[in-house]
Chains A and B, each alone.
Chain A
């Protein structure tokens, strides 16, 4: 199957700092990528839809000024958590679909963020 990578795999930061998470489709192009967040013992919740060359679409309750999304190319989307606080500590996961198999989405390995 298609491969999606994320970097970093885990990050620890101080409260008030910003953290950037990268999501890459390694062997396919994706005009749309999705960002999810998962808290302990809970399921994945969609945060936003990242669209190449245009603004991201955010789910209700997700602050667009706090979670900045940039989809600058067909293989890269970034999520920046600005002025991170302990409540932003979570597991962040991205996904994307190749055009050739648009029925199926492939997920990245996730990035674990811990804000102290």
Chain B
């Protein structure tokens, strides 16, 4: 699976949009971009994933560049409860027996 690079940490003001970048320059054509987050002392929580089109759900939006070498997770109106470590993972999608490989992620702090 392709490796990803993310900033170590970011701050965001409460109520503002949080934009979390991820670089995955070696991504393959059949690899999806996944985002999970982990709030302190909890298991990772699925946020969103996509292949090449932008995706949106009730939690966030995922913007993938046209060359697919980078993406941005957008939390439109960050709240204090969004403070967590956010993981960007690239993985072949329909690979049932394949685990997820977690990097260090981005520690997002939402400030009041």
- A109 beta carbon closer than 8 Å to chain B: yes
Stretch at the interface among A61-69, A72-80, A90-98: A90-98
Interface of B is mostly: loop
How would residues 74 to 112 of chain B score, 1 for a CB under 8 Å from any chain A CB and 0 otherwise? 000000000000010000011111011111110000000
- Chain A residue at smallest Cβ distance from B87: A43
Chain A residue contacts of B44, Cβ below 8 A: 44, 93, 95, 107
- Chain B residue at smallest Cβ distance from A1: B46
* A111 vs chain B, min Cβ distance (A): 9
How would residues 75 to 116 of chain A score, 1 for a CB under 8 Å from any chain B CB and 0 otherwise? 000000000000000010101010100111111111010000
Contact B97 A107 (CB under 8 A): no
Alpha-carbon distance between A74 and B104 when the two chains are bound, in angstroms:
31
Query: For chain B, which range describes its interface: under 10, 10 to 19, 20 to 34, or 35 or more residues?
Result: 20 to 34
Q: Which residues of B pack against A, CB within 8 Å? A: 32, 34, 36, 41-46, 49, 87, 93-97, 99-105
Alpha-carbon distance between A105 and B95 when the two chains are bound, in angstroms:
11
* B80 vs chain A, min Cβ distance (A): 20
* A44 vs chain B, min Cβ distance (A): 4
Contact A95 B100 (CB under 8 A): yes
Chain A residue contacts of B46, Cβ below 8 A: 1, 104-107
Alpha-carbon distance between A106 and B44 when the two chains are bound, in angstroms:
8
